[in-house]
Chains A and B, each alone.
Chain A
Amino acid sequence: MPDAPGLELIAHEINTRHEGSVLGTTYDHEQAALLIGPDSALKVLRYLKEAPGQEYSFLASLHAADYLPRTPRFAVHYELLNMARVERLRVKCLIEDPGEDRLPETDSVTGIFPTAEFHEREVYDFFGIVFRGHPDLRRILMPEDYVGWPQRRDFPVGGDPVIFTNTEDEIPGWTKGS
């Protein structure tokens, strides 16, 4: 785990090579995270995987979060691991909500980490975040014909009202008489 100064060094190194790709850093509970934009995910992750001295060669997890009502609303989290040094680094790719009809987009990292394929399908399944360049982007856990993105914060919680014998009179068309 890089400490807070180490994290700043990494951010500075990336920004000298790819100008303006790291938007900021957070260091909470001894966990280091880089904040990046949706367009720089590919080059940042490729640098962290391949550059000498970094070599975060293992993508432990890829998941998303919905920060509604904050903006940018969505973030895709990449949990990187250097197995030789046992160091973990989190990269948060912040994505704006493009509006009602369109889906948020970012680049797929399956070219760098092949394990990201199913993870990105899961993120697409639950958050509706589209990964450009993904080889087979379709739902993975929910039914194929499901409509909606159920892990978003504006997705309604809870199922349908349940009909009990004491409430069935209030449901029109349920009892024979009504």
Chain B
Amino acid sequence: MQRGILDEEALEEYVQERVITTTFDKAVAWARGNAMWPATFGLACCAIEMMSMVSARYDTARYGAEVFRASPRQADMLILSGRVSIKMAPVIRRIYDQMLEPKWVISMGACSSSGGMFANYAVVQGADKFVPVDIHVPGCPPRPEALMYGILKLRNKILGEPDLGWRDQYEGHGTEEGLRSERAGAISVERAGSAPADGRLVGTATPTAEQLATEARMLAAAEDAQRPISDDAGVPGPDRDLA
């Protein structure tokens, strides 16, 4: 549609029909929650169920969690699919550290959640001793439906209640990755729009002169756009007569 085709009221109605307003937080959470790519990381027999989760029968692509990434840099979610031996724990921790924020961990099955049947010297009794776990999926092993239910629970958490994350549970605010100097004054995407939990200053309190000038330029441009178009200034075209 070209400028000037609709008059003011019709234009207003047109905009109301086609534009929704939301917060940046919600838009980001919507994007994150619908594309959680797991890391390609199988630990034990639960990994078989995890693999069948992406098959045509279960098709977790419906929830955007089918792309198992071979690199932790590209993965959003780590599924601990099986018992974690004490020699594997530092390896998992390193993979978790290599993943980029935001990242989530699903502990799949009894073994990684609590040690399960492996109550012995070789197995870590619960994976949340070394990584923050968001969702525990019970079962031995859980069926693919159960794991997908866990993924949907995680999705609901990301979409609806992002404050239920592990940082609140474990009081881990301020551990977001990135350079400390970058974090100090910048608006954290994680915490934007909510009060800082640890009293740390999030965002700049007073706008600088440069920011004020930029704002003034943008306001002037917006006024220009709203000015009614005179007859000889419009763009020639077939729809011209409709205005």
Contacts and interface: CB of A to CB of B under 8 A. Distances in A.
Interface string B115-135: 100111111111000000000
A176 B171 contact: yes
Contact of A157 (B115, B120, B124, B125): B120
Nearest to B115: A159
A104 interface: no
A162 B126 contact: yes
B227 interface: no
B87 interface: yes
Contacts of A162: 114-115, 125-126
B87 A143 contact: yes
B140 to A, nearest CB: 15
A157 B87 contact: no
Nearest to A126: B121
Contacts of B122: 142, 150
B121 to A, nearest CB: 4
Measured as residues with beta carbon below 8 angstroms from the partner, the interface class of chain B is 10 to 19
Secondary structure type dominating chain B contacts: loop
A158 B126 contact: no
Contacts of A155: 121
A128 to B, nearest CB: 13
A30 interface: no
Contacts of B123: 159
Contacts, number: 31
B120 A158 contact: yes
B169 to A, nearest CB: 9
A134 B61 CA distance: 56
A160 interface: yes
Given A159-B115, A162-B114, A162-B115, A150 B121 contact: yes
Contacts of A148: 121
A54 B114 CA distance: 52
Contacts of A164: 114
Interface in B61-119: 86-87, 114-115, 118-119
Contacts of B118: 159
Contacts of A159: 115, 118-121, 123-125
B119 to A, nearest CB: 4
A124 B199 CA distance: 53
A158 B119 contact: yes
Nearest to B121: A150
Nearest to A175: B169
Interface string A88-125: 00000000000000000000000000000000000000
Interface of A: 142-143, 146, 148, 150, 155, 157-160, 162-164, 176
Given A143-B86, A162-B126, 12 more contacts: A146-B86, A150-B121, A155-B121, A158-B119, A159-B119, A159-B120, A159-B121, A159-B123, A159-B125, A162-B115, A164-B114, A176-B171
6 contacts: A150-B121, A155-B121, A158-B119, A159-B115, A159-B118, A159-B125
